[in-house]
Copies of this chain bind each other. A is one copy, B any other.
Amino acid sequence: MFSQTSEYAIRALIEIATRPEGEHVLSSELGESLGIPQHYLSKILQQLVRTRVLKSVRGRSGGFRLARSAADIRLRDIVEPFEDLKKCEECILGQPVCSDAGACPLHDFWGDVRERYVNELETKSLADLTDYQLKKLGSMNAGLFKRVGSVPGKESLKQKSKRKKVGTK
């Protein structure tokens, strides 16, 4: 549903948003604590600066911070640079147009899913996501998105590569 890149973006923004307002967070620290490749994350954050979701300050005591209140950042604003949202307007089976008039049995399914998807992107804000995080942090002492133990983020990523291929046995 979300690309790896979008997932990184969301997780990083949640982390940034839970920090004291105005504090600058280092991309290296984010990558380290979230188990996201640091330099790759840098590029993602840079992109979010360009789309005015984040602001950055260079040099000593620099870093990234939100460009505006978390409540004003929609999920859509976060993933837009990394997802082809137009694609989900199209037919799931590759038809040029996908109309309800004359729908195949997959049409209802696909229509519902994407409606819910775009609705989620439009209505959920970064604040909605962090609210839960903050509640959790109250009762536990480890952040949900912090890695615990032996870098589970990296490991689970590698395991994903075991997919079956088309041509080879």
Contact surface of A with B, Cβ cutoff 8 Å: 1-2, 5, 7, 10-11, 40, 43-44, 46-47, 50, 81-82, 84, 87, 92-96, 102-106, 109-110, 112-113, 116-117, 120, 124, 128-129, 131-133, 136, 144-145, 152-153, 156, 160, 163-164, 166-167, 169
Indicate which residue in B92, B96, B116, B166 contacts A5 across the interface (CB closer than 8 Å). B166
> What are the nearest 4 A-B pairs in CB distance?
A104-B132, A105-B128, A43-B167, A109-B120
CA distance A131 to B104 in the complex (A): 8
| Across-interface contacts of A102 in B (CB, < 8 A) | 132, 136, 144
Q: Shortest distance in angstroms between A118's beta carbon and chain B's nearest beta carbon?
A: 11
| Across-interface contacts of A87 in B (CB, < 8 A) | 160
In the bound complex, do residue B166 and residue A92 qualify as a contact, i.e. CB atoms below 8 Å apart? Answer: no
Helix, strand, loop or mixed for chain A's interface?
A: helix
| Across-interface contacts of A92 in B (CB, < 8 A) | 1-2, 7
Indicate which residue in B1, B44, B93, B160 contacts A7 across the interface (CB closer than 8 Å). B93
| Across-interface contacts of A47 in B (CB, < 8 A) | 166-167
Closest to A51 in B: B164
| Across-interface contacts of A104 in B (CB, < 8 A) | 129, 132-133, 144
In the bound complex, do residue A94 and residue B166 qualify as a contact, i.e. CB atoms below 8 Å apart? Answer: no
